[in-house]
Chain A
Amino acid sequence: MAAGEFAIASVESLGAAAAERSLLAQCRGGDAAAFARLVSLHETMVFNLALRMLGNPDEARDVSQDVFLQVYRTLGRFEERSALRTWIYRIVVNLCRNRRRLWMRRKRDRSVGLEQLSARDESQLAQARRGDSPYDAVRRREQAERVQKALLAISFDHRAVLVLREVEGLTCEEIAHSLGIAEGTVKSRLARAREALRARLCTPEAAR
């Protein structure tokens, strides 16, 4: 399809920022296919951020869906001075915080969440790492579980900066945008968060 090829080529030549603007314009115009593209572009990062913040894949999936519905409904209010990505991160963190607050009252989340995570991890790791020996796969899974458990044990705010920085690779400036806090606050929070996690993972008393 010559026409289709031309359209794709012209979008790609716009550059990432301009392509995002044009995608946003299409979404605002009610183009369902454009919004579907926006969702698929960001779905993995939204799900993984929610997963690391909550530790439970089913909750993360529900939050991810809510995130995109909120994106859809508030697209008109998004200011294009910041990247779409940072804005979406902010929605993810806020929705996770709401959900987490509720959980904290119930104090029953952790064991359930981790069991579910490990059950799913198992099959996925087995698929993803066929080249590995069974020992490696198990070791990796256990390690991921240990890290996730430690992440859930530190405070929500510490976890948020840590995941945005180390997993999502945001700069401190981007994190500041995402969380609506000063860059200096991000840096000091990050230092404390890293230390808190180190203490959890590396000192035997804290691990239990």
Chain B
Amino acid sequence: MSCRDVRALFSEYLDGELAPAHARFLSRHVESCPDCRLHLDQLRDTLELVAGLPRESSPEPIAVRVRERLELESRRPALRELLRPARPLLRPRFAPVAVAAFCLMALPILMVPIRPTVPAPAESLLSGSESRPLALAPGVLAPRLTASAELDDALAGAPADRTWFVETVVTRDGRVSAVRVLGGDSAYAAPLAYALRQERFEPGRFQGRPVAVSLYRLISRTEVRAPQT
């Protein structure tokens, strides 16, 4: 058996999965071969290092975020309804609806911020921090887009009839801190989230101070022709 063959068995050897005869052979080889001994020691050290990686905790409690998300969804029975066709979203019950089309690498994506009818935030509940963003309630000034996203190749390749219903949180410094794709073809969720995270906003405001705002948006690919040249 060459050193190379011996080393190929180290992983099973360390797991104690080699047959006793093989294991004995390996031990004897390692005792007499300094190179293989070094290799085996390094392998052991490597595994110890990985196993010794510190157990970290999440920057925010995940259980709380999950619960808030599920509560939010259950409090919005209209959500499912919203997810079906793109058109009914534009009905007056969701007014005022601001419509903005952005040209992203010549492939415009239509983004419709949705203003659900939410009561004005009570002062006591109000925080407007990134972990507790405000909804677009009366009195909350909506964030204004200042830099749009670059369209990911994967997203650019999405069929034109796709729409997604997305929640983004725009932070107090105008960045997009969280993107949740709540509805639509999940195959594009990752590139979509990536694209939206590149957006920059003039932050939302409440009573004059910048606040983190949760934006619900309907995003659709629109059929466009490339500009004639």
Contacts and interface: CB of A to CB of B under 8 A. Distances in A.
A166 B58 contact: no
B190 A68 contact: no
B191 A47 contact: no
Interface in B164-212: 178, 189-191, 194
B49 interface: yes
A43 B49 contact: no
B42 A106 contact: no
B228 to A, nearest CB: 30
18 contacts: A36-B66, A43-B61, A43-B63, A57-B59, A58-B59, A61-B59, A61-B60, A61-B62, A65-B69, A68-B62, A69-B69, A124-B57, A147-B50, A166-B50, A187-B11, A187-B17, A191-B12, A195-B11
Nearest to A72: B70
A32 B51 CA distance: 34
A194 B70 contact: no
A120 B59 contact: yes
B66 to A, nearest CB: 4
Contact of B62 (A64, A166, A190, A194): A64
B70 A105 contact: no
Contacts of B154: 102, 105
Interface in B1-19: 7-8, 10-12, 17
A44 B51 CA distance: 16
Contacts, number: 120
A51 interface: yes
Given A44-B57, A148-B53, 4 more contacts: A69-B66, A102-B194, A162-B50, A195-B7
Contacts of A148: 53
Given A48-B56, A151-B50, A190-B11, A39 B42 contact: no
Q: How large is the interface on A (under 10, 10 to 19, 20 to 34, 35 or more residues)?
A: 35 or more
B70 A128 contact: no
B34 interface: no
A144 B53 contact: yes
Among A36, A148, A166, the most chain B Cβ lie within 10 Å of the Cβ of A166
A201 B63 contact: no
A110 interface: no
Contacts of B10: 191, 194-195
B66 A166 contact: no
A163 B50 CA distance: 8
Contacts of A140: 54
Contacts of B223: none
Interface string A40-67: 1001101110011000011011101100
Contact of A65 (B7, B54, B62): B62
A201 B41 CA distance: 12
In order of increasing CB-CB distance, the 5 nearest A-B pairs are A191-B11, A166-B50, A202-B42, A39-B63, A198-B46
Contacts of B90: none
B45 interface: yes
Contacts of B69: 65, 69
B224 to A, nearest CB: 23
A48 to B, nearest CB: 6
A121 interface: yes
Given A57-B56, A72-B70, A102 B62 contact: no
Contacts of A82: none
A47 B8 contact: no
B70 A102 contact: no
Nearest to B179: A62
A208 interface: no
Contacts of A147: 49-50, 53
Contact of B190 (A36, A69, A99, A190): A99
B161 interface: no
B38 to A, nearest CB: 9
